[in-house]
Structure 1
Amino acid sequence: MPSLSDGAPAQHRTAGLVLAAGASQRLGRPKQLLPYGRGVLLDAVLATARDCGFDQTVLALGGAAAEVQGTVDTTGCEIVLNPDFGEGCSSSVAAGIAALHPDTDAVVLLLGDQPEVRSATARALLQLLFASDAGNDSPGVAVCRYDDGVGHPLAFTRRMFPELAALHGDKAVWRLLEQRAADAVELPVPGTAPLDVDTEEDYRRVLAALEGAQ
């Protein structure tokens, strides 16, 4: 099984899809632009995506899109504007899948409000996905198994793209994973699942974790 230090095989074309189109309704202000480290929350996520070595990085924006583009360093990203972001996360997944290069072999989903995900985790997840994808009946899904359950990032091979593009609703990706739970391969990752920022308390917790890591 690949370790967290391994990289994705060079012969595969990979993409990262960063989902950052939410309206931040629970928080009341754009969470993509919350101060974090030397920049803002989304800066940290995009820095991780760049470090993954993807052949393509797609950034899905919706709520506060203009402000995000005027603030965040989106160098190296292909921006997809999702006018249907209010319909849930799956609408951004569909928009991002449509923007992938036609030769893409696998995509990794990253959340724009989850700065604690590490690039080594995403690279190891791809290694595991490709290693398990030798047969035609492979599920084409790899997930991270943390001490407290399954969490992001999530990786899917090309055969799963049509299903991803057809999802509807905010929790549709998780429902798809439930359907594939018996077949999906899991990457063991030490520690608890990275926190995604939905509330002020979530934000205080990720800031405290960042301060503790420095």
Structure 2
Amino acid sequence: MPPLPTDPTDLTDVTGLVLAAGGSSRLGRPKQLLPLGGATLLDATLSVVRRCGFGQVVVALGGAADEVAATVDLSGVDVVRNPGFGAGCSSSIVAALPSVAPSSRGVVLLLGDQPEVTVAAVRAVAAAGGDLAVCRYADGLGHPFWLGRGLFGELANLHGDKAVWKLVDAAGDSLATVPVDGEVPADVDTEADYAALLARWDR
């Protein structure tokens, strides 16, 4: 396993992988394009990701991909289109893996509809080492996840929507959990989720 950098803020040898391919079936409109903070929900998430200092950022698109690509600021990121996005989040991971830079020691997995993830959480989980680490919030485990390069072979064979969580469950005592302040960042699946996010965002 490559040595960890002595500076935990140095993520130049890490890829940030943002999953933003969902079809927004429960919401009924592309969640990536929901207005937030003068831009879109996905823009807000990418704003956090850009502040992390990743050596590479990969964004997986699927549902409404053309509209998302035309609306969201995707400058400086590598875009992967996943035509099989309906098969679940794991299909986007599988689609994105070939685009991960050979120099990356692993990826930090983020969800495009979680703009309240913090830079501190990203840096903490990336510094955990090993092949699999997750954030431990006050109310449970959550994203972002660390997926080391040693896990890529297994990731390439994932299937289904909760496949990464199955890896977490199967890891048992070998799972690295990183304490992070606050509660698990909310994602946006419904209009109620969006309304709650807007209320927090405007405070």
Structure 2-normalised TM-score? Answer: 0.93
* 1:152 partner SS: strand
One-letter amino acid of the structure 1 residue matched with residue 96 of structure 2: G
Pair 1:149-2:150 in alignment: no
Q: Which runs of 5+ in 1 are unaligned?
A: 1-5, 134-139
* 2:48 partner SS: helix
Contact 1:9 1:127 in 2 (8 A): no
Distance 2:62 2:9 in 1: 30
Q: Which residue of 1 aligns with 2:191?
A: 200
Q: Which residue of 2 aligns with 1:97?
A: 97
Distance 2:175 2:198 in 1: 32
**Percent of residue pairs identical:** 54
Q: Give deviations 1:163-204, integer Å, cap 9, x for gaps.
A: 111100011111111011321111111221000000011111
Once the two structures are TM-superposed, the CA of residue 99 in structure 1 deviates from its matched residue by 0.9
Distance 2:58 2:156 in 1: 15
Number of corresponding residues: 197
Contact 1:80 1:95 in 2 (8 A): yes
* 1:182 partner SS: helix
Q: Which residue of 2 aligns with 1:189?
A: 180
Distance 1:160 1:50 in 2: 24
One-letter amino acid of the structure 2 residue matched with residue 113 of structure 1: D
One-letter amino acid of the structure 2 residue matched with residue 64 of structure 1: A
Distance 2:181 2:124 in 1: 13
Q: Which residue of 2 aligns with 1:88?
A: 88
Q: Give deviations 1:78-102, integer Å, cap 9, x for gaps.
A: 0000010011110001111121012
Pair 1:7-2:15 in alignment: no
Once the two structures are TM-superposed, the CA of residue 9 in structure 1 deviates from its matched residue by 4.0
Distance 2:56 2:47 in 1: 14
Q: Which residue of 1 aligns with 2:47?
A: 47
Pair 1:113-2:113 in alignment: yes
Q: Which runs of 5+ in 2 are unaligned?
A: 1-6
Once the two structures are TM-superposed, the CA of residue 210 in structure 1 deviates from its matched residue by 1.1
* 1:59 partner SS: strand
Distance 2:142 2:77 in 1: 24
Distance 1:202 1:19 in 2: 18
Matches within 5 A, 1:122-201: 122-129=122-129, 133=130, 140-201=131-192
RMSD: 1.3
Contact 2:10 2:53 in 1 (8 A): no
One-letter amino acid of the structure 2 residue matched with residue 7 of structure 1: P
Return structure 1 stretches of 4+ with deviation > 4 angstroms.
none
Distance 2:119 2:10 in 1: 15
Q: Give deviations 1:11-54, integer Å, cap 9, x for gaps.
A: x6100000000000000000000001121000011111111111
Q: Give deviations 1:100-148, integer Å, cap 9, x for gaps.
A: 012210100010011110112101211222xxx4xxxxxx111100111
One-letter amino acid of the structure 2 residue matched with residue 98 of structure 1: P
